[in-house]
């Protein structure tokens, strides 16, 4: 999708479809007021009739004027406006343009009095780009081709920059979705490692892949234990983006990438087990973020660490009862091989802290079913040891509308993962506070680095109860990419 900015000349604009936003119960197209009198009366009637209901789209033919059609897009009530309104509605517009097989379409952003123009153009770009992604790699019949977009707004450096950033951010989210959606027979740990190599070469990042033997030698006991049941060997993927000053501490991002989670010897029930192909989504989020930060050339140091394994049952698998030694040197008693994510993450967190002495560590993981019980499928769980860090993430969450909710973690929860026979056990006490006890296990992996853990079990892909959004079609959502890119741009 090519995106152009053109100074507004609305009714003179030669375009297949001129698209404008309409507030509820208004008879005006926003940003179009000054040319109202020139719009023919039947169009005025159509604006009144569609009444600006949120998400509603009306396409009207316009004989006699240069735009071939006008599209009216309802924004709903002004009081209900939020940081997702324009993104959501723009997505609907773009999908309509594709449905009509258009080669291009044009959008008039609302005026500054309704929404600040930087935010509005960013949302338009993100909404359109993300909504036109569809996972059709394995379909014989592909979607219609993607139309180009003209945004009709007075050109300025600021606007052009905002659009360029939004394009990269949206591309990052789409990339994360596209690798997150890959089936488990086509995406193994080595495949993800390969993707990381490819993006690192394109954008000048350092990429280091640690393979099975070296992992064992270096003491990554969690990653090797979980990975030993599969013939698809584990990989630890490390991407470095070094554009800050030499002695500036980096921010470390860690992402769980279990390319398929059967549960291992503690086998999961069959129902919906296919969805465990999405158990790699935390890692995919980190890869997508790293791709975007390198394209944005952010002037900071950022490290992405992605432990990747396949959790399979078999003669070589780790078992309930095993005691393993993690990278931190602490021992863990395995009580359930399906609580594998915390084991591979613990290794990656300890490694990140030891190797990089980072300013902050943020991890993403489809870690617990309990997170879905607690918060549902539209809000991610967050657990942190540092209020400043978690508050910054909440702020970015409000801006990007990728929602997170913080849960507590005090010493009582830490006690719940203590083992009788090892330093820790990989499950808590029964099912109580499952999301928090998983985080308690992770907290043992780091010393005192500011850390935030984001459990994306409910939000990483569309499930029962997921709010429908044009930019989140069925499958992986890329949750966290926009959130953390906002955070990183504001640190």
Residue found under tokens 């680095």: 449
Per-position DSSP letters for 295-333, written without gaps between them: HHT-SSEEEEEEEEEEE--STT---TT-EEE-TTS-EEE
455 binds Zn ion (CB under 5 A): no
| Residue 225 contacts which entry, ligand BES, Zn ion, Mn ion, none (Cβ below 5-8 A, type-dependent) | none
Minimal CB distance to Zn ion: which residue? 261
| Residue 360 contacts which entry, Mn ion, Zn ion, ligand BES, none (Cβ below 5-8 A, type-dependent) | none
Q: Smallest gap, in angstroms, from Cβ of residue 421 to ligand BES?
A: 18
Q: State how far the Cα of 133 lies from the Cα of 131, in Å rounded to an integer.
A: 6
Q: Which is nearer to Mn ion, 23 or 460 (CB)?
A: 460
- For residue 60, the tally of other CB atoms under 10 A from its CB is 14
Q: Which is nearer to Zn ion, 233 or 261 (CB)?
A: 261
Query: Which helix (DSSP H) or strand (DSSP E) does residue 289 occupy?
Result: helix 281-296
Tokens of 487: 């955070």
Tokens of 371: 């997170």
| Residue 368 contacts which entry, ligand BES, Zn ion, Mn ion, none (Cβ below 5-8 A, type-dependent) | ligand BES
Give the interface size with Zn ion as a residue count (CB under 5 A): 4
Active-site residue identified among 268, 325, 359, 399: 268
Query: Residues in the site for ligand BES, rule: CB under 6 A?
Result: 261, 279, 336, 338-341, 366-370, 427, 434, 457
180 binds Zn ion (CB under 5 A): no
> Which residues, numbered 250-289, are part of the site for Zn ion (CB under 5 A)?
258, 261, 279
Establish whether 482 is a catalytic residue. Answer: no
Query: 452: helix, coil or strand?
Result: strand
| Residue 336 contacts which entry, ligand BES, Zn ion, Mn ion, none (Cβ below 5-8 A, type-dependent) | ligand BES
Q: What is the CA radius of gyration of the chain?
A: 24
Residue found under tokens 């009637």: 45
Q: Smallest gap, in angstroms, from Cβ of residue 342 to ligand BES?
A: 8
* C-alpha neighbours within 13 Å on the C-beta side of residue 195: 26
Establish whether 342 is a catalytic residue. Answer: yes
> Which residues, numbered 331-390, are part of the site for Zn ion (CB under 5 A)?
341
478 binds Zn ion (CB under 5 A): no
Q: Which is nearer to Mn ion, 167 or 261 (CB)?
A: 261
Active-site residue identified among 134, 277, 342, 392: 342
Q: Smallest gap, in angstroms, from Cβ of residue 220 to Zn ion?
A: 17
Q: Smallest gap, in angstroms, from Cβ of residue 340 to Mn ion?
A: 5
Q: Smallest gap, in angstroms, from Cβ of residue 278 to ligand BES?
A: 7
Q: Smallest gap, in angstroms, from Cβ of residue 261 to Zn ion?
A: 4
Which DSSP state fits 82?
Answer: -
> Which residues, numbered 191-250, are part of the site for Zn ion (CB under 5 A)?
none
Query: Residues in the site for Mn ion, rule: CB under 5 A?
Result: 261, 338, 340
Q: Which residues of 272-305 are buried (b: 16+ CB within 10 A; e: fewer)?
A: eeeebbbbbbbbbbbbbbbbbbbbbebebbbbbb
What own/partner pairs with CB < 8 Å and gap ≥ 24 does 414-421 have?
Answer: 414/440, 414/443, 414/444, 416/440, 417/441, 417/444, 419/332, 419/333, 420/333, 421/323, 421/333
**Residues near Zn ion (CB under 5 A):** 258, 261, 279, 341
Active centre residues (catalytic): 268, 342
């Amino acid at each position: 999708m090519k995106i152009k900015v053109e100074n507004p000349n609305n009714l003179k604009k030669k375009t297949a479809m001129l698209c404008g936003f309409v507030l509820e119960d208004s008879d005006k197209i926003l940003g179009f007021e000054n040319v109202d009198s020139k719009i023919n009366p039947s169009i005025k009637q159509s604006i009144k009739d569609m009444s600006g209901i949120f998400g509603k789209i009306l396409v009207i033919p316009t004989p006699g004027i240069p735009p071939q059609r006008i599209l009216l897009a309802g924004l709903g009530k002004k009081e209900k406006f939020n940081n997702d309104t324009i993104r959501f509605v723009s997505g609907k517009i773009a999908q309509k343009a594709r449905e009509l097989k258009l080669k291009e379409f044009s959008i008039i952003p609302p005026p500054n009095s309704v929404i600040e123009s930087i935010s509005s153009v960013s949302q338009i770009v993100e909404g359109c780009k993300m909504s036109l992604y569809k996972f059709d790699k394995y379909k014989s019949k592909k979607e219609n081709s993607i139309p180009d977009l003209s945004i009709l707004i007075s050109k300025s450096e600021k606007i052009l920059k905002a659009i360029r950033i939004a394009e990269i951010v949206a591309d990052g989210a789409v990339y994360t979705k596209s690798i997150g959606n890959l089936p488990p027979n086509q995406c193994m740990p080595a495949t993800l490692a390969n993707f990381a190599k490819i993006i690192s070469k394109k954008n000048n990042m350092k990429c280091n892949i640690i393979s099975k033997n070296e992992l064992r030698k270096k003491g990554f006991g969690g990653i090797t234990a979980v990975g030993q049941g599969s013939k698809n060997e584990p990989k630890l993927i490390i991407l470095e983006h070094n554009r800050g000053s030499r002695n500036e501490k980096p921010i470390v991002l860690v992402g769980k990438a279990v390319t398929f989670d059967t549960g291992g010897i503690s086998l999961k029930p069959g129902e919906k087990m296919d969805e465990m192909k999405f158990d790699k989504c935390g890692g995919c989020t980190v890869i997508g973020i790293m791709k975007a930060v390198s394209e944005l050339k952010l002037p900071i140091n950022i490290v992405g660490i992605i432990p990747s394994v396949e959790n399979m049952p078999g003669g070589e698998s780790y078992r309930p009862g095993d005691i393993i030694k993690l990278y931190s040197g602490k021992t863990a008693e395995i009580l359930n091989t399906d609580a594998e994510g915390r084991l591979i993450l613990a290794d990656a967190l300890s490694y990140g802290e030891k190797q990089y002495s980072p300013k902050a560590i943020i991890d993403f993981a489809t870690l617990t079913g309990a997170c879905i019980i607690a918060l549902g499928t539209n809000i991610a769980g967050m657990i942190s040891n540092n209020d400043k860090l978690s508050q910054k993430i909440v702020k970015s969450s409000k801006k990007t509308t990728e929602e997170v909710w913080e849960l507590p973690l005090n010493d009582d929860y830490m006690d719940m993962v203590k083992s009788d026979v090892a330093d820790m056990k990989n499950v808590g006490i029964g099912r109580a506070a499952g999301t928090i006890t998983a985080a308690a296990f992770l907290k043992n992996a780091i010393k005192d680095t500011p850390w935030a853990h984001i459990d994306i079990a409910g939000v990483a892909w569309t499930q029962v109860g997921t709010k429908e959004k044009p930019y989140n079609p069925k499958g992986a959502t890329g949750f966290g990419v926009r959130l953390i890119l906002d955070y990183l741009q504001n640190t």
